[in-house]
């Protein structure tokens, strides 16, 4: 007597699996779609199997019973044989072998034909069985009989199993060990159940074993929790990476919209987890609704820290650009959550990818990811949707991607150079000092320190760059050229990581000793970000250097949170007012801030430098505010050391 219960359990198992897949919206992307196809195929096979067994074993005689049995058995064969093909294709997806097949080359075409031919032959044979009866027959008592060519089904299943395993072995590097074990287990389970059922047909464990294999795959390979945000249920950055990678492997055109909540990080820090997630979910729902309303097909992702991406597959450029503009205008700026009102603002970028076109904004996966995470740093725009307007944008993106190797090359080939920008003393009417500013010329073009210094901080090369700056500045101060300029000291920028170097004080002290320079010839500029990190090592460095006679400036004052406690407690000699004060000087509110800040600093016996002075008018304004020192393009842009010395020489002659 055949055991039908295994098949019944299989149907229940797979139904649960299907519900779970749809409930978790795990239906996007080729791999998911393929997995879903296998699950549905197994479900239909199990239903047909159940009907066949039920009719043979339990149902009494009724009209057309043999015909129904014949049809359901034929369908069972078609669906069941497809499972092995689909399983094999699933392995192709996991290992990315699918892209070799999809290539439009001769090899690609040959492989795709090779892969579909056995299944097509098998289907022809199964359909032809209606007339030939070579695979199975149903007799007048509705009893099923295997026929000789049934073996062909097994041969085809065997071929696809061999295909799948061969690709798995050849492309195993594309998969993690756990995934390889999971697929191997899936095959072992499926193959052994086929053998069991072949030798013990009454046991009928095949469908049950397949359903377990699918569950195992869902848990170990598909892992929906890896691709979705647990709190918002949205696709996360891993999903974006995965689907983004497929874009390049497929070489299909696509356009993308990147969205950043400009105060995303602040919200993350200020709000509790639930409120923050609710805020994201609201934005998510708004975008999904807008996509629906505009009849635009795009996949939405929440990347990280208030960054979103929408991927539009295919040539959708005009529509997606329209949608980006629509979002910029309509995205909600105010949320009322619990009892709090949250204000948000957005930056939006629109880019296109087309492997076959020169108009493609980016050409590699790395570029895509850099863009997704930094588009607003790489491409500048104030109001509109940010796009790649010119060749410079592409150049910037390329540099962002390869900045690590550029910096390594620059270090080994000495591509850095120090420039000096004069600083004018209002009281003494002379050039009293200069700020040392690093320059990097790569491929004939300058790369801004504002861009490469943060990158060097991230990759750790800042220490080598910082050493170069220290050495060059000391060399200059020790030279006769410097003495001839008559400058009192040089201002030198210290990066955040340098401030945290444990041996920094000794390093600077030893270097100045080696060059025979007194410590009052160097003023070290530190930023508020460095001070805010407030690590003991940094405080020790400042104290030690200060006791050795080095003075300190607080750079970019007015751009950060301007922590007054730090200004009071740290041994700062100079406060450098940032360019933003200069840009806003016509604003009456800013004038109040400026006047009072200057007075406050003066009372604390601090000296004041103003940066970014470009006109005579500005020079007059800030001199009247009693600033001590002025720096800016009005006097000179930063210059290479020899040009700088000649410039000072000329200035002295003219003065
Ligand atoms: P910073 O220390 O605030 O330097 C002042 C920046 O303002 C310089 O930009 C300078 O060229 C620019 N500047 C000066 N006067 C004017 C003006 O009148 N108008 C305008 N628009 N800009 C003016 P630069 O050289 O591009 O440096 C940018 C930043 O990179 C610096 O800001 C500093 O934070 C960093 N940096 C530069 N050189 C070094 C270095 O040797 N070491 C470290 N750690 N950082 C450096
Ligand atoms: Mg500076």
Which tens digit of pLDDT belongs to each residue from 470-511? 999 999 999 999 999 999 999 999 998 898 888 999 999 999
Average pLDDT over residues 46-75: 90
Average pLDDT, the chain: 89
Distance (Å) from CA 437 to ligand 1 centroid = 6
pLDDT tens per residue across span 314-373:
777 788 999 999 999 999 998 887 777 888 889 999 999 988 777 889 988 999 999 998
pLDDT tens per residue across span 555-573:
988 776 666 777 788 899 9
Distant-in-sequence contacts of 388-392, Cβ < 8 A, 24+ apart:
388/351, 388/361
Q: Whose CA is nearest to atom 25 of ligand 1?
A: 437
Return the HEC string of 99-142.
HHHHCCCHHHHHHHHHHHHHHHHHHHHHHHHHHHCCCEEECCCC
* Closest ligand (CA of 423): 1
Task: With residue 246 as reference, give the H or E element that holds it.
Answer: helix 237-250
**Atom of ligand 1 at shortest distance to CA of 462?**
44
Name which residue leads in pLDDT, 408 or 24: 408
Distance (Å) from CA 572 to ligand 1 centroid = 20
Please, what sign has the CA dihedral across residues 288, 293, 299, 304?
A: negative
Distance (Å) from CA 644 to ligand 2 centroid = 17
pLDDT tens per residue across span 282-299:
899 999 999 999 888 888
Task: Report the interhelical angle of 150-170 vs 65-95 (nearest 10°).
Answer: 10
Pocket test for ligand 1, best of 441, 448, 449 (most atoms within 8 A of CB): 449
Structure tokens at 120: 């097509």
Q: What's the N-to-C CA distance of the chain in angstroms?
A: 113
- pLDDT at position 101 is 79
Distance (Å) from CA 441 to ligand 2 centroid = 20
Name which residue leads in pLDDT, 202 or 552: 552
Average pLDDT over residues 544-565: 85
- pLDDT at position 411 is 96
245, with CB counted inside 10 A (0-12, 13-18, 19+), is middle
* Pairing outcome for strands 629-631 and 607-610: parallel
Give residue 457's pLDDT band: very low, low, confident or very high (50, 70, 90).
Answer: very high
Distance (Å) from CA 454 to ligand 2 centroid = 14
Q: Whose CA is nearest to atom 44 of ligand 1?
A: 495
Return the HEC string of 468-528.
HHHHHHHHHHHCHHHHHHCCCEEEEECCHHHHCCCCHHHHHHHHHHHHCCCHHHEEEEEEH
Query: Taking 80 as the threshold, does the pLDDT of residue 1 lie above it?
Result: no
Distance (Å) from CA 555 to ligand 2 centroid = 6
- pLDDT at position 521 is 97
Please, what sign has the CA dihedral across residues 245, 248, 251, 257?
A: positive
Asked whether 305 and 270 are in contact (CB, 8 A), the reply is no
**Atom of ligand 1 at shortest distance to CA of 448?**
26
Q: Whose CA is nearest to atom 3 of ligand 1?
A: 556
* Closest ligand (CA of 579): 1
Distance (Å) from CA 72 to ligand 2 centroid = 80
Distance (Å) from CA 435 to ligand 2 centroid = 7
**Atom of ligand 1 at shortest distance to CA of 418?**
41
DSSP β-bridge partners for residue 436? 420, 492
Query: Taking 70 as the threshold, does the pLDDT of residue 533 lie above it?
Result: no
Query: Taking 90 as the threshold, does the pLDDT of residue 433 lie above it?
Result: yes
Select from 328, 235, 337, 237 the least CA-distant residue to 279.
337
- pLDDT at position 341 is 84
Query: Taking 80 as the threshold, does the pLDDT of residue 230 lie above it?
Result: no
Distance (Å) from CA 430 to ligand 1 centroid = 21
Task: With residue 598 as reference, give the H or E element that holds it.
Answer: helix 588-603
- pLDDT at position 94 is 84
Q: How many angstroms separate the CA atoms of 403 and 447, rounded?
A: 10
Distance (Å) from CA 511 to ligand 1 centroid = 24
Protein residues placing their CB within 5 Å of the ion ligand 2: 493, 525, 555
Q: Whose CA is nearest to atom 4 of ligand 1?
A: 437
pLDDT tens per residue across span 569-621:
889 999 999 888 888 888 888 888 888 999 999 999 999 999 999 999 999 99
Residues contacting 235, CB < 8 A, separation 6+ = 28, 227, 228, 229, 299, 300, 301, 302
Quick one: residue 355, left, alpha or beta (phi over 0 = left, psi -120 to 50 = alpha)?
Answer: alpha
Q: Which residues line ligand 1 (CB under 6 A)?
A: 421, 436-438, 448-450, 453, 469, 493-495, 525, 555-556, 579, 611-614, 631-633, 638
Q: Whose CA is nearest to atom 45 of ligand 1?
A: 493
Query: Taking 70 as the threshold, does the pLDDT of residue 29 lie above it?
Result: no
**Atom of ligand 1 at shortest distance to CA of 419?**
25
Please, what sign has the CA dihedral across residues 402, 408, 414, 418?
A: positive
* Closest ligand (CA of 530): 1
pLDDT tens per residue across span 377-401:
888 776 788 888 777 788 888 888 9
- pLDDT at position 31 is 76
* Closest ligand (CA of 464): 1
Q: Produce one character per residue of 7-42: b if its CB has 16 or more CB atoms within 10 Å, e if not.
A: bbebbebbeebbeebeeeebeebebbebbbebbebb
pLDDT tens per residue across span 248-265:
877 778 999 999 998 888
Pocket test for ligand 1, best of 424, 437, 522, 560 (most atoms within 8 A of CB): 437
- pLDDT at position 269 is 78
- pLDDT at position 84 is 87
Three-state DSSP class for residue 169: helix
Asked whether 553 and 525 are in contact (CB, 8 A), the reply is yes
Q: How many angstroms separate the CA atoms of 178 and 180, rounded?
A: 5
Query: Taking 90 as the threshold, does the pLDDT of residue 628 lie above it?
Result: yes
* Closest ligand (CA of 574): 2
Q: How many angstroms separate the CA atoms of 516 and 464, rounded?
A: 22
Distance of CA 585 to the CA centre of its chain: 39
């Amino acid at each position: 007597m055949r055991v039908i219960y295994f098949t019944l359990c299989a149907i229940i198992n797979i139904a649960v699996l299907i519900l779970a897949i749809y409930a978790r919206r795990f239906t996007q992307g080729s791999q998911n779609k393929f997995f879903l196809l296998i699950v549905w195929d197994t479900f239909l096979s199990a239903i047909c199997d159940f009907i066949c067994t039920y009719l043979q074993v339990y149902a009494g005689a009724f009209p057309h019973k043999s015909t129904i049995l014949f049809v359901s058995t034929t369908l069972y064969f078609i669906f069941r044989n497809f499972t092995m093909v689909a399983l094999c294709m699933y392995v192709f997806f996991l290992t990315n072998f699918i892209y070799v097949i999809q290539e439009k080359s001769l090899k690609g075409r040959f492989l795709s034909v090779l892969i579909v031919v056995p299944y097509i032959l098998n289907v022809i044979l199964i359909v032809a069985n209606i007339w030939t009866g070579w695979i199975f027959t149903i007799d007048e008592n509705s009893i099923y009989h295997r026929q000789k060519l049934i073996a062909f089904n097994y041969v085809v299943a065997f071929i696809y199993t061999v295909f799948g395993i061969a690709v798995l072995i050849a492309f195993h590097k594309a998969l993690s060990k756990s995934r390889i074990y999971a697929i191997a287990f899936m095959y072992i389970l499926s193959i052994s159940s086929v053998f069991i059922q072949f030798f013990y047909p009454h046991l009928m464990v095949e469908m049950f074993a397949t359903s377990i294999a699918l569950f195992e795959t869902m848990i170990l390979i598909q892992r929906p929790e890896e691709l979705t945000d647990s709190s918002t249920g949205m696709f996360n950055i891993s999903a974006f990476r995965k689907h983004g990678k497929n874009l390049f492997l497929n070489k299909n055109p696509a356009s993308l919209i990147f969205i950043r909540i400009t105060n995303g990080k602040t919200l993350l820090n200020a709000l509790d987890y639930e409120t923050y997630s609710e805020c994201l979910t609201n934005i998510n729902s708004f975008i999904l609704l807008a996509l629906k309303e505009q009849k635009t097909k795009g996949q939405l992702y929440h990347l990280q820290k208030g960054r979103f991406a929408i991927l539009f597959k295919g040539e959708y450029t005009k529509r997606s650009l329209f949608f980006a503009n629509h979002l910029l205008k309509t995205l909600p700026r105010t949320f009322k959550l619990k009892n709090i009102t949250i204000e948000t603002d957005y930056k939006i970028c629109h880019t296109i990818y087309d492997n076959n076109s020169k108009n493609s904004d980016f050409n590699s996966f790395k570029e895509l990811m850099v863009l997704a995470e930094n588009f607003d740093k790489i491409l500048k725009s104030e109001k509109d949707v940010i796009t790649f307007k010119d060749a410079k944008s592409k150049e910037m993106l390329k540099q962002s991607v390869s900045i690590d190797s550029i910096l390594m090359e620059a270090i080994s080939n000495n591509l850095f150079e120090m420039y000096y920008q004069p600083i004018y003393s209002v009281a003494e009417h002379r050039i009293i000092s200069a700020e040392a500013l690093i320059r990097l010329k790569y491929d004939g073009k300058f790369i801004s320190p504002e861009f490469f210094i943060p990158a060097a901080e991230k990759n750790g090369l800042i220490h080598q760059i910082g050493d170069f700056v220290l050495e060059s500045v000391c060399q200059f101060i020790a030279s006769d050229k410097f003495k001839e300029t008559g400058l009192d000291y040089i201002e030198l920028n210290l990066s955040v990581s340098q401030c945290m170097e444990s041996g920094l004080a000794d390093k600077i002290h030893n270097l100045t000793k080696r060059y025979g320079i007194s410590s009052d010839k160097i003023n070290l500029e530190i930023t508020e970000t460095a001070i805010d990190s407030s690590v003991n090592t940094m405080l020790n460095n400042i104290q030690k250097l200060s006791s050795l006679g080095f003075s300190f400036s607080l750079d970019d004052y007015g751009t950060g949170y301007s922590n007054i406690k730090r200004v009071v407690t740290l041994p700062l000699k100079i406060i450098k007012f940032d360019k933003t004060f200069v840009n806003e000087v016509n604003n009456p509110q800013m004038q109040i801030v400026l006047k009072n800040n200057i007075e406050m600093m003066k009372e604390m016996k601090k000296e004041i430098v103003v940066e970014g002075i470009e006109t005579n008018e500005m020079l007059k304004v800030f001199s009247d505010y009693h600033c001590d020192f002025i720096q800016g393009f009005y006097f000179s842009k930063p210059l290479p050391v020899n040009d700088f010395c000649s410039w000072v020489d000329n200035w002295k002659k003219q003065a």
